[in-house]
């Protein structure tokens, strides 16, 4: 084959390839394009005899289709060359006669003719049309499956009807950091994701610690006008646990139960968890022991119980973690507790730390079954803390429920800084429990208070009789931790009451004695030491002597409480908006070495920018 013939054959092959996009997908509802008459005599093709099966051994269908395309796009001379080439390839035992040499056709005469309009639409727009009609399938991260438990906000209570408020303490902080993640991503949180007590307890209010460890915590109270309505007052009750230096923390037996399912394969999930755990590794001592249990479709031991000072071994085990598969959390919990039992340290800290992003979708998935299992294990002295990661399928409800059942706390890790805060800076409060089943009861004096409302703690409310029942579980407090509760109250002399008094109950009210008329309320606390089953009682009266101006501590706590209330709809704020909250918090920041309080002010400003204001709210903010 000479050079011209070769070039001609290559050009024909290119034309066949170009036309193949449409030829390979025939449209039966359209008439075939007419074949142009040949401009040169064609070679006579030899007939192929039938094979032994009785079927004709003709040229394969793709070749025939290609020949049709050539007829539709070029001259008969080029068609002959293509057919002869196909015949030589298909019938090697039957040599075809060589065509007589013909003058090569000028290249400009071999250009591809303009396609018919229907064919042009088919070739140039076919893919776009197919994509347009293709149903869009959501990506895994596009579906928001985050799960939060719904709880109604605590309502206003009339002291004449309900003078006693009883609840359990709570040291969780996961709600605040999870909402922080949402606001930093440019979205307002759902109301059920906001728990006021976890916002308030994220911050340290500088309470004076107890003088000795005979009593595990001190109690502070303060009374001052509410910033959003001066006709009402805020009553702050603060608890400060005694502090334990890191070197004095008892030996720790820690089992990290880590979700390594496929959904954890995102930067804010397993990689962030690994980096956070490495922050803790440097703090571990020889007397500590660490094990790592993983769970995906099945559970496994990534690191058997290992002395805490073997940092390189622990780091290597952390680095080896990979995300894949489904989420068999039930099997993982069984294996983690088995490891904790094997490494149990009498008189030490024995804790399982569960780190996950979402549901347990394989194995034991019933919340009641998981709760019962963890409650049974806590009776053996092994507690459970939960750490939440990521978004999209984050199961906040499950994490909170498991931590409560395991006598632990729930935290959400939205950054490496937060991981270090929980696992290193606050390690003693996270790991070492100094008092368990801590309950608070406040009895209000009806001669001083007409209404009250507890801000937050909806998930920790108790019945009045539960306070004296040592069988009723309550929250724990760790070494150095502080817990704050805030009541909004309406004084008896105020006209700012939200509830109309009863018409027929006035004469039957119980009157306090003259010696107690100066008391606003009576505070009771019950708690158990970690190794005891019988509770102890603390009692103290609260004087009805409000401060003229609230301290910076109360002002800042009030700003945090108001922010949580605003995110839930601001039902009780009397029009007090984000701008006023930010101003209140900024003026009461005080000592802020780590920048947490300044960060809070920024979050309030972000929420303000994301919210929709009415004209009245905008005018109030401008003032």
Contacting residues for 152 by C-beta, under 8 A, at least 6 apart: 458
480: left (phi over 0), alpha (psi -120 to 50) or beta: left
Rounded to an integer, what distance in angstroms lies between the CA atom of residue 255 and that of residue 193? 28
Residues 219 and 358 both lie in one domain: no
- Please answer whether residues 429 and 241 qualify as being in contact, where contact means their C-beta atoms are separated by less than 8 angstroms: yes
CA–CA gap between residue 197 and residue 171 (Å, rounded) = 8
Task: For residues 421 and 481, give the distance between their C-alpha atoms in angstroms, rounded to a whole number.
Answer: 13
Q: 34 lies in a domain?
A: yes
Asked which of 133, 152, 179 is the last residue of a domain, the reply is 133
pLDDT, position 574: 95
- Of 594, 240, 279, 244, nearest in space to 419 by CA: 279
pLDDT digits (tens, 9 = 90+) for 404-437: 999 999 999 999 999 999 999 998 889 999 999 9
Are 274 and 339 in the same domain? Answer: yes
d(CA 388, CA 174): 8
In a domain, 151, yes or no: no
User: 16 Cβ partners below 8 Å, 6+ apart?
Assistant: 66, 69, 70, 82
Kindly report the pTM of this predicted structure.
0.76
The string of DSSP codes covering 238-294 is EEEEPP--GGGSPPEEEEEEEE-SGGG-STTTHHHHHHHHHHHHTT--TT-EEEEEE
Residue 34: is it exposed, middle or buried by C-beta count within 10 angstroms (0-12/13-18/19+)? exposed
Q: Is residue 200 part of a domain?
A: yes
Dist CA 359 CA 619 (whole Å): 45
CA dihedral (101, 102, 106, 109) positive or negative: negative
CB 550 within 8 A of CB 224: yes
Q: Which tokens is 510 given?
A: 């119980």
The H helix count followed by the E strand count for the chain is 17, 16
* Measured distance CA(565)–CA(228) in Å, rounded: 12
Please state, in angstroms and as integers, the Cα–Cα distance from residue 617 to each residue in 299, 512, 532, 562, following that order. Answer: 54, 43, 53, 16
Judge contact between 557 and 200, C-beta under 8 A: yes
Does residue 236 sit in the same domain as residue 172?
Answer: yes
Contacts (Cβ under 8 Å, ≥6 apart) of 594: 421
> What is the CATH number for 417?
3.40.50.410
Mark whether 469 and 546 lie in a shared domain: yes
Instruction: Report yes or no: 430 and 418 within 8 Å, Cβ to Cβ.
Output: no
Domain annotation covers residue 205: yes
Residue 138's pLDDT is 43
Structure tokens at 591: 């000592």
User: Pairing relation of β-strands 383-388 and 536-543?
Assistant: unpaired
Q: The domain that contains 209 carries what CATH number?
A: 2.60.40.1230
Model pLDDT, residue 370:
84
- Residues linked to residue 252 through DSSP beta bridges, in sequence order: 349
Q: Are 159 and 451 in contact (CB under 8 A)?
A: yes
Number of domains in the chain: 3
CA-based R_g, the chain, Å: 38
> Is 53 within a domain?
no
Distance CA 303, CA 69 (A): 66
What lies within 8 Å, CB to CB, of 379 at 6+ separation is none
Same domain membership, residue 549 and residue 616: yes
**What separation, in Å, do the N-terminal and C-terminal C-alpha atoms of the chain show?**
92
281/402 same-domain check: yes
Nearest Cα neighbor of 472 from 403, 433, 434, 526 is: 526
Digit-coded pLDDT (tens) for 276-330 = 999 999 999 999 999 999 988 677 999 999 999 999 999 999 999 999 876 666 7
User: For residue 415, which of 141, 140, 147, 176 has the smallest C-alpha distance?
Assistant: 176
Residue 623: the pLDDT is 53
Structure tokens at 183: 């606001």
Residues of the chain with pLDDT under 70: 1-4, 16-144, 297, 326-329, 359-365, 505-515, 613-623
Domain match, 445 and 377 both: no
Answer with the one of 390, 408, 431 that is the final residue of a domain. 431
What is the extent of the structural domain holding 586?
A: 161-244+434-499+514-622
Nearest Cα to Cα of residue 399 among 417, 386, 382: 386
Within a domain: residue 102?
yes
Same domain, 113 and 231: no
In this structure, the answer to whether residues 236 and 261 fall within a common structural domain is no
For the beta sheet containing 252-259, the strands, ordered from the edge strand earlier in sequence to the opposite edge, are 299-307, 289-295, 252-259, 349-356, 383-388, 410-412
Instruction: Indicate the angle between helix axes 3-23 and 61-73, nearest 10 degrees.
Output: 100
Q: Enumerate residues 6+ apart whose C-beta is below 8 A from 389.
A: 264, 268, 269, 270, 272, 273, 355, 356, 357, 412, 413
Residue 146 within any structural domain of the chain: no
Answer with the one of 377, 401, 431 that is the final residue of a domain: 431
pLDDT at 328: 64
User: Is 313 found in the same domain as 229?
Assistant: no
Residues 313 and 418 in one domain: yes
Residues 426 and 482 occupy one common structural domain? no
Residue 281 lies in a domain: yes
Q: Which residue has tokens 């101003």?
A: 583
Considering Cα of 602, then 607, then 612, then 618, what sign does the dihedral take? negative
User: d(Cα 433, Cα 452) in Å, to the nearest integer?
Assistant: 31
3-class SS of residue 139: coil
Q: Residue 446 has which token pair?
A: 């009806």
């Amino acid at each position: 084959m000479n050079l011209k013939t070769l070039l001609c054959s290559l050009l024909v092959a290119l034309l066949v390839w170009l036309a193949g996009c449409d030829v390979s997908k025939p449209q039966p509802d359209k008439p075939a394009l007419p074949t142009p008459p040949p401009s040169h005599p064609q070679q006579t093709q030899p007939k192929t005899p039938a094979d032994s099966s009785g079927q004709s051994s003709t040229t394969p269908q793709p070749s025939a289709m290609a020949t049709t395309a050539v007829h539709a796009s070029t001259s008969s001379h080029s068609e002959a060359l293509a057919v002869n080439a196909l015949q030589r390839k298909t019938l090697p035992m039957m040599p075809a006669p060589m065509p007589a040499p013909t003058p090569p056709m000028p290249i400009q005469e071999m250009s591809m003719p303009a396609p018919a309009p229907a064919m042009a639409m088919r070739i140039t727009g076919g893919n776009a049309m197919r994509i347009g009609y293709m149903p869009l399938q959501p990506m895994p991260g596009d579906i928001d499956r985050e799960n939060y438990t719904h709880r109604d906000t605590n309502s206003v209570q009339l002291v004449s009807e309900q003078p006693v408020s009883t609840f359990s303490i709570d040291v969780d902080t996961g709600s605040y950091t999870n909402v922080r993640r949402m606001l930093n991503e440019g979205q307002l949180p759902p109301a059920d994701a906001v728990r006021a007590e976890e916002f308030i307890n994220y911050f340290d209010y500088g309470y004076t610690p107890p003088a000795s460890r005979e009593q595990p915590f001190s109690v502070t109270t303060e009374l001052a006008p509410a910033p959003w309505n001066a006709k009402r007052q805020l009553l702050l009750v603060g608890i400060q646990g005694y502090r334990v230096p890191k070197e004095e923390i008892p030996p720790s037996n820690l089992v990290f139960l880590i979700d390594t399912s496929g959904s954890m394969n995102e930067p804010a999930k397993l990689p962030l968890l690994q980096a956070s755990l490495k922050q803790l590794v440097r703090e571990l001592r020889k007397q500590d022991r660490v094990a790592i249990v993983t769970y995906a479709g099945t559970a496994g031991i990534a690191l058997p119980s290992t002395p805490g000072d073997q940092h390189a071994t622990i780091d290597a085990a952390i680095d080896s973690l990979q995300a894949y598969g489904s989420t068999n959390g039930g099997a993982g919990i069984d294996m983690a507790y088995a490891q904790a039992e094997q490494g149990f340290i009498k008189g030490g800290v024995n804790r399982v730390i569960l780190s996950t992003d979402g549901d347990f979708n394989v194995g034991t998935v019933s919340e009641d079954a998981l709760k019962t299992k963890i409650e049974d294990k806590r009776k053996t002295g092994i507690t459970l803390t939960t750490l939440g990661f990521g978004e999209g399928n984050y199961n906040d409800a499950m994490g909170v429920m498991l931590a409560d059942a395991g006598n632990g706390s729930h935290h959400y890790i939205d950054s490496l800084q937060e991981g270090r805060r929980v696992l290193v800076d606050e390690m003693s409060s996270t790991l070492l429990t100094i008092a368990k089943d801590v309950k608070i009861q406040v009895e209000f004096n009806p001669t001083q208070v007409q209404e009250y409302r507890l801000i937050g703690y909806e998930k920790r409310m108790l019945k009045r009789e539960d306070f004296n029942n040592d069988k009723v579980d309550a929250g724990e407090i760790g070494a150095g931790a502080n817990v704050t509760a805030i009541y909004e109250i309406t004084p008896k002399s105020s006209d700012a009451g939200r509830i109309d008094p009863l018409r027929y109950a006035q004469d039957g009210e119980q009157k306090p004695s003259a010696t107690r008329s100066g008391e606003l309320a009576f505070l009771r606390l019950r708690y158990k030491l970690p190794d005891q089953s019988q509770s102890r009682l603390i009692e103290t009266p609260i004087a009805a002597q409000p401060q003229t101006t609230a301290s910076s501590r109360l002002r800042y706590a009030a700003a945090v409480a108001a922010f949580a209330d605003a995110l839930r709809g601001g039902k009780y704020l009397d029009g007090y908006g984000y701008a006023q909250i930010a101003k209140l918090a900024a003026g009461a920041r005080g000592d802020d070495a780590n920048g947490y309080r300044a960060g809070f002010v920024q979050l309030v400003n972000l929420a303000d920018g994301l919210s929709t204001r009415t004209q009245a709210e905008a005018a109030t903010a401008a003032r």
